Chain A
Amino acid sequence: MSYAIEFNHLTKRFGNHTVLDDLNFNIHEGKITTILGFSGAGKSTVLKHILGIYHPTEGQVKVLGQDMEKMNEGQIREFRTNFGMVFQYAALFDSMTNFENVAFPMKEFTNYTKEEIEEKAIGLMKQVGLDEFAFHKLPSEISGGMRKRVGLARALALQPKVMLYDEPTTGLDPITTHMVDDLITSTHNHNAHLPMTSVIISHDIAATLRISDYVAFLEKGKTVVHAPVEEFRKSDHPVIKKFIELST
């Protein structure tokens, strides 16, 4: 089994405050891994290390076998085209239509013709189940669930090897939450040939148990458990038991 992301004794401190403390686990290539934990456990900090936005105080993060600390700024920017990111509130460019949002990464980073971009953008929007009437609307004119779909289509535009989801179901109603979960699974399976690795930052235990292959549970910057989802479900670790109990 090869790893898409490796955390080797990763420690991150902000001043005297240790946010990540000797984090040491690997994320399996081609699988869906959810990083779970209470608020303030360091989940978003982990995400920012994967993206190379934060630099480790100690230790190392390897993504697709590369250590971004050894890259210059230009190389990091180029390397980031391997990532697709779905933000908590989609983070769509509000001055662009949904179509333009999806086409944007292709315009920036590929040599596709205008027609090719149009064809691929429409294909992606259809793949994520976006209604045709929404293609040329502004993000402000569609619902939260629809925006998530556009965000996902945009993230898929460059066929990323690593898909990152930052709290994808926070603030959504149960039906839309299920829709987003299904979308994550279907997107992952649809791109299994790449192979695509999906990393979800979440505190939604139900969604985690439903869609994840692996779960890493963080508490106070440490990994409490990193295990396949079935093993995680049966964990008798008091913190995880409490988390599951409180969440359900």
Chain B
Amino acid sequence: MIKLLKSSIEWLGRWVMSITPALGRFTLYAISNFQWFFRPPVRKRLFFEQMVFMGNKSLFIVFLTSSFSGAVFAYQIYLGFTAFSVDSFVGPIVAIAVVKELAPVFTGLVVAGRCGAAMAAQIGSMKVTEQIDALEVMGVNSIQYLGVPRVFATVVTMPMLTGVFMLVANAGSWLVGVKLLGIDEAIYFAKLGDFMNLNMLVEGLIKAAVFGYLISIIGTYQGFAVKGGAEGVGKGTNMAVVWGMIIVLIMDFFLTAILAKVLG
């Protein structure tokens, strides 16, 4: 028993020892990225390129995810609520869930899977082929050139994509609830008006921006941290996706608690 306890403590100690330097490096990277955001030159072209990459090319996946999520959520709620003759609440229940939770979280998961991975892979492959060294030798700061535009573009784009998710998911819900299952349209919208408020939208969009920051800062860091060759790029990409998704889900809880206090 004592032996097991001792080995468990040793394992925990080793784990803490191994994770601490990485956490330190990540923190230093995040600070550096933040500092370089305010230093010239402003790279508008790179920022817009990244916005197009994140936004435009994620739009279809977000559209697909949101339409079916809204539709299936509305259907499930209807099945449960109709037994108690409260199916008129389908609209607001779906809308609240989508706007406050589903839209930022699902969009975050989509962006982490698609863009977080791409960031790590792009920067990682530049690292292993010495392209980042080439930038540095020329006197160009690689964090400012590669990291800052990606992070800024994701922070700006995530709320936009989340907004699209909110709209399309609610459209899916309306389509299923009103057109397919026969909920009265006037009641559907009246209930929406009764239960929805602007703070819910603000909460969803703030979450989206925070998730965007976390996904991109993790994605770019994993790219810069790549070691070795193609295997290293693969590991970095994998870590970017895994940590990006985990952090979205964990932070969602804390943000919900914080924003509930702030926004009421």
Contacts and interface: CB of A to CB of B under 8 A. Distances in A.
B137 A80 contact: yes
A109 B130 CA distance: 21
Interface string B122-148: 000110011101101111110000000
A93 interface: yes
A87 B130 CA distance: 8
Contact of A87 (B134, B140, B141): B134
Nearest to B130: A91
A92 interface: yes
Contact of B138 (A88, A92, A108): A108
Contacts of A89: 129-130
Interface in A82-110: 83, 85, 87-89, 91-94, 104-105, 108-109
A92 B140 CA distance: 14
A26 interface: no
Contacts of B136: 53, 80
B139 A81 contact: yes
Nearest to B141: A77
Contacts of B140: 77, 108
Report the interface size class on chain A: 20 to 34
Nearest to B134: A91
B139 A80 contact: yes
Contacts of B129: 89, 91, 94
Contact of B139 (A77, A88, A91, A94): A77
B183 to A, nearest CB: 50
Nearest to B125: A94
A107 to B, nearest CB: 10
Contacts of A92: 131, 134
B214 to A, nearest CB: 25
Contacts of A94: 125-126, 129, 131
Contacts of B126: 93-94
A236 interface: no
Contacts of A77: 139-141
Given A91-B129, A94-B129, A85 B134 contact: yes
A44 to B, nearest CB: 11
A93 B131 CA distance: 6
Nearest to B140: A108
Contacts of B141: 77
B138 A80 contact: yes
Interface string A55-99: 000000000000000000000111111010101110111100000
B133 to A, nearest CB: 6
Contacts of A109: 138-139
A94 B125 CA distance: 10
Contacts of A85: 134, 137
Contacts of A104: 138
Contact of B134 (A53, A76, A78, A93): A93
A155 B9 CA distance: 54
A128 interface: no
A51 B130 contact: no
Nearest to B133: A91
Nearest to B132: A91
Contacts of B131: 91-94
6 contacts: A77-B141, A93-B126, A93-B134, A94-B125, A94-B129, A104-B138
Given A51-B137, A91-B131, A91-B133, 6 more contacts: A85-B137, A89-B130, A91-B130, A94-B131, A108-B140, A109-B139
What are the nearest 6 A-B pairs in CB distance? A91-B130, A77-B139, A80-B139, A91-B134, A85-B137, A87-B130
Interface of B: 125-126, 129-131, 133-134, 136-141
